[in-house]
Amino acid sequence: MSEKTKGQLLSEKLFYNSENAFKKLDAEEIAKADAYCEGYKKFLDSSKTEREAVISTEKMAREHGFVPYTFGMKVKAGDKLFYNNRGKSIFLFRIGSEPLTEGVRIAAAHIDSPRLDLKPRPLYEDSEQGFLKTHYYGGVKKYQWTAVPLALHGRVILASGDTVDIVIGEDENDPVLYINDLPPHLAQAQYQKTLSLAIEGESLNLLVGSRPYDDEEASEKIKLNILSILNEKYGITEADLISAELCAVPASKARDAGLDRSMIASYGHDDRVCAYPSVTAILDDASAGKHTVMVILADKEETGSDGNTGLKCSLLSDIIAELSNTFGVSENTVRANSKCLSADVNVAYDPNFPEVFEKRNTAFINHGVVLSKYTGARGKSGTSDASAEFLGYVRKLFDDNGVIWQIAELGKVDQGGGGTVAAYIAKRNIDVIDLGVPVISMHAPVEVIAKLDVYMTHKAVLALFAE
Ligand code: MN
Ligand code: MN
């Protein structure tokens, strides 16, 4: 091979390009990433709702010696704690050896995903078919949710005050739910509509039955039969569905995707694909050290982070204030010196839709964890916009720790845009930057990610915690 020319050497030194991680990693590390993702797939299947994700996470945390934290509790360096917020969001933290005033190292991901929530009075029958009415949660392309098998997950509080947890449609012997769509034979008028109107919100009704209750004199026999089945199995009456949080999610399991198995197809990568790597990072004893470290798994991100389980809630500040009180230090100082990775997914470049991307500033699958300096829309509106200094810190941290990373925006300027929890973290005077896994078909019932990117996200969070 001929020697490199001066110009070639200079461009190696001066140019920046993100690179495919397959080029950079040896076979051993690729195998490690594949093995890591086996655990991720199990997490996906057991954690389709925020409640289930909290249960899975608390279980993992307890297995690693984490214990429940209560406000006012005395803590010391080395303690491993978790705070379960109403069963829908969870905070894991380890107390470090250095003063808390050096700040907390935080990774914040969310565990709610787009889905179809049941309305408070969902059940009805029409023309001898039984249905459940839904109100979609988060940004869904409604037409994608028709004609696919769906499962029902959630919790019902009975009139007695008893709690019933429901999962129907995940076991292969379970029945599934379904949303009807028109056959192409009768879709001439539907074809003329725009995608956003072809299936409307009020037609996202879950088909749940067609067998009448066996009593000639009874009315609404299909509905009655469904309620009688629910009542027999769970003790539920129609009124109990009012004090309930039930939702329909795709009934499929996480599967390897691609003939080369390099990817995973699943419901709910957004944002379990950042939640799981954050949790495994804090469970890793490499996270035990100088800094106090924290993982936040938030709810309600997909509807704007409102509510007391979302990240606009004061709970993050409250926990930092409680810990600060314990050590007799200023919570304001603790927050001012804290650093956070807002771990949420980004959009992966899709060669089937090149028109919405600006290729130089777009994330590619297999190019590692994506950093985003800012998000927002229409002139960066609504973004936190990380400082050059903080980006410089994170970039060096990743380079020093063998984290393969890339930088990207979410699509072309003025093509759309999106937000994350970063703005609500920044609001508390904490340095924060967005980082996460590039996703193909984000918010679709089944999304696709690349395994190497999941593993690199785990390495990224671990680098922050172990620093
Ligand atoms: Mn997200
Ligand atoms: Mn999302």
- How many angstroms separate the alpha carbon of residue 144 from the centre of ligand 2? 15
- How many angstroms separate the alpha carbon of residue 41 from the centre of ligand 1? 18
- How many angstroms separate the alpha carbon of residue 298 from the centre of ligand 1? 10
The alpha helices in 296-450, defined as continuous H runs, are 315-327, 331-336, 388-400, 422-426
pLDDT for the residue 153: 98
pLDDT for the residue 388: 96
Q: Which ligand is nearest to the CA of 311?
A: 1
Tens digits of residue pLDDT in 375-417: 888 888 888 899 999 999 999 999 999 999 999 988 888 887 7
Region 107-131: what's the mean pLDDT? 98
95 touches 79 (CB < 8 A): yes
311 touches 108 (CB < 8 A): yes
- Listed range (127-131, 182-186, 265-269, 407-411) with the worst mean pLDDT: 407-411
First to last CA, the chain: 41
Q: Which ligand is nearest to the CA of 297?
A: 1
Q: Which ligand is nearest to the CA of 342?
A: 1
Region 180-208: what's the mean pLDDT? 97
pLDDT for the residue 214: 97
Region 80-87: what's the mean pLDDT? 98
pLDDT for the residue 375: 86
**Which 3 state secondary structure label does DSSP give 141?**
coil
Among 8, 444, 49, 5, CA closest to 247: 49
Q: Is the pLDDT of residue 228 over 80?
A: yes
Question: Is residue 1 very low, low, confident or very high in pLDDT (cuts 50, 70, 90)?
Answer: low
Q: Which ligand is nearest to the CA of 137?
A: 2
Q: Which ligand is nearest to the CA of 437?
A: 1
Q: Determine phi and psi for 194, rounding to 5 degrees.
A: -70, 160
Q: Which ligand is nearest to the CA of 421?
A: 1
User: What is the percent of the chain where pLDDT is above 90?
Assistant: 94
Dig out the tokens for 206 from the structure.
């879950």
Region 140-145: what's the mean pLDDT? 97
Calpha distance 52→344 (Å, rounded):
19
**Which 3 state secondary structure label does DSSP give 274?**
helix
User: What is the percent of the chain where pLDDT is above 70?
Assistant: 100
- How many angstroms separate the alpha carbon of residue 452 from the centre of ligand 1? 19
Q: Which ligand is nearest to the CA of 139?
A: 2
Question: Is residue 442 very low, low, confident or very high in pLDDT (cuts 50, 70, 90)?
Answer: very high
Dig out the tokens for 180 from the structure.
């009807």
pLDDT for the residue 446: 98
Strand residues in 277-366 grouped as ranges (E): 292-298, 339-343, 346-347
Q: Which residues pair with 167 in a beta bridge?
A: 153
**Which residues place a Cβ less than 5 A from the ion ligand 1?**
270-271, 344
Distance of CA 142 to the CA centre of its chain: 19
Question: Is residue 342 very low, low, confident or very high in pLDDT (cuts 50, 70, 90)?
Answer: very high
pLDDT for the residue 377: 84
60 touches 276 (CB < 8 A): no
CA angle, 194 then 197 then 202, to 5°: 170
- How many angstroms separate the alpha carbon of residue 40 from the centre of ligand 2? 18
- How many angstroms separate the alpha carbon of residue 348 from the centre of ligand 1? 13
Question: Is residue 6 very low, low, confident or very high in pLDDT (cuts 50, 70, 90)?
Answer: very high
Among 42, 93, 83, 56, CA closest to 283: 93
Q: Determine phi and psi for 108, rounding to 5 degrees.
A: -120, 120
Neighbours of 361 (CB within 10 A): 16
130 touches 223 (CB < 8 A): yes
- How many angstroms separate the alpha carbon of residue 302 from the centre of ligand 2? 5
Q: What is the mean pLDDT of the chain?
A: 96
- How many angstroms separate the alpha carbon of residue 442 from the centre of ligand 2? 7
Calpha distance 33→243 (Å, rounded):
42
**Which 3 state secondary structure label does DSSP give 195?**
helix
Q: Which ligand is nearest to the CA of 271?
A: 1
- How many angstroms separate the alpha carbon of residue 376 from the centre of ligand 2? 13
- How many angstroms separate the alpha carbon of residue 270 from the centre of ligand 1? 5
- How many angstroms separate the alpha carbon of residue 308 from the centre of ligand 1? 18
Tens digits of residue pLDDT in 27-72: 999 999 999 999 999 999 999 999 999 999 999 999 999 999 999 9
- How many angstroms separate the alpha carbon of residue 110 from the centre of ligand 1? 7
Q: Which ligand is nearest to the CA of 111?
A: 1
